[in-house]
Amino acid sequence: MVLRRILFSVILGLGVKLTPAAAVERTFKQNFELAPGGTVAVDTYRGGILIEEAKDRQVRTEVRVELATEDEDEAAKAIEALKLDVSATDNEVRLRARNPRESRVLFAWEEKKRIELTFRIAVPKGATVVLSTLDGSVTVGNLSGNVDARTRAGRIFCRKIDGSIKAMVETGEIVISRCTGTTEATVQSGTIRAGTLFGATKLRNDSGDIEVLSALGGIEAKAAAGDVSVGLQKGFLGETKIEADGGNVVLQIEPTVPMNLQASATWGRVATTLPFAVSAGGPGKRSLSGTLNGGGPRVRVHASGGHVSLVSHQLFFDLAEGS
């Protein structure tokens, strides 16, 4: 009987925890006309940013403000302290959010007073988006335009971008499905993962791994404390330089790819089963220099604290589908 009472108390307690907390919500909407070549900029001290492509020249902005309280007066005071500015000038739409009330350190019992922000914006085709949040994630759907995004703590996700990407995260991750233009991504602590990158690419991770399924425009990738994995398929162009200061390097190579290779490891070994025409070093040694399929773009690979693996791989993205 005592056990049943204890179980009932635990279940009841869980039920209370799972009950959604009361919240006050406000939504602010504004639309603007944007000429071709225009810019949409979001600069916020916190909150998530979601970008999608519109079917016309309208920029549709929606800012949702949420406060975890049922006290309308308290919510009104908190929202009044929020400095939210949405404006348009010189073919640029700007959204800016600041909150002096939340700039100071909040005690645990004050967390419920913290405002949650969500920016949902539809932008015209060809627009450039410049997105910045100190505490939150950035999500960009299919977009024909350039992306410049950064967050101090969170995740940057870009789906299919027909343009260039510049992304920076202090703590979190950057995920890119596909980019036809140039890509530049930097993470201080976290991960970088990408699908197919058609343009020249530059990636750096100070503490974490880098993974690219296919780099077609040449890539410069460096992980200061992590592993690097990059796929090279037929048709890739541009010089490639890959470094892992504190980890391993894995190159997944389509067997028909032509290249000039220089691979080395400080403490580990270079391993491969691909038919390189070796000019120096060799498989199982600390270095390997040679050509594949008669030679081609220059590929330099170095692992300071791990091994280099050159792996045969054929299941790449069909370029005919992506062009």
Tell me the CB-side half-sphere exposure of residue 180, using CA atoms within 13 A. Answer: 13
CA 83, CA 96: separation in Å to the nearest integer? 8
Give the length of the chain.
Answer: 323
Residue 112 pLDDT level (bands cut at 50, 70, 90): low
Q: What are phi and psi of 311, to 5 degrees?
A: -115, 135
pLDDT at 113: 64
Comparing C-alpha atoms, which of 94, 160, 106, 91 is closest to residue 132?
94
Please tell me the distance from the alpha carbon of residue 150 to that of residue 279, in angstroms, as a whole number. Answer: 44
- Cα separation, 10 vs 243, whole angstroms: 52
Q: Report the alpha-carbon angle 271-275-281, nearest 5.
A: 50
| Dist CA 141 CA 144 (whole Å) | 10
pLDDT at 16: 33
Residue where the block lists tokens 């894995």: 250
End-to-end alpha-carbon separation of the chain, Å? 69
**Nearest-angstrom CA–CA distance, 75 and 68:** 9
Cβ neighbors of 251 (< 8 A, separation 6 or more) are 229, 230, 231, 232, 242, 299, 301, 308, 309, 310, 311
- The per-residue pLDDT for 73 is 77
Confidence of residue 240 (pLDDT cuts 50, 70, 90): very high
Count of beta carbons in the 10 Å neighbourhood of residue 155: 17
pLDDT tens readout for residues 206-219: 999 999 999 999 99
Cα–Cα distance between 169 and 195 in angstroms, integer? 18
For 271-300, how does the pLDDT look when each residue is reduced to its tens digit (9 = 90+)?
Answer: 999 999 999 999 999 999 999 999 999 999
Are the C-beta atoms of residues 276 and 258 closer than 8 Å to each other? no
Average pLDDT over residues 93-119: 72
Which one is predicted more confidently, 17 or 198? 198
Residue 103 binned pLDDT confidence (cut-offs 50, 70, 90): low
pLDDT surpassing 70 at residue 3: no
Report which of 268, 262, 226 is spatially closest to residue 244, judged by C-alpha positions.
226
SS3 235: coil
Task: Name the nearest CA neighbour of 229 among 193, 183, 281.
Answer: 193
The DSSP-derived string for 164-200 is: -EEEEEEEEEEEEEEESS-EEEEEEEEEEEEEEE-S-
Closest CA to 124 of 190, 182, 39: 39
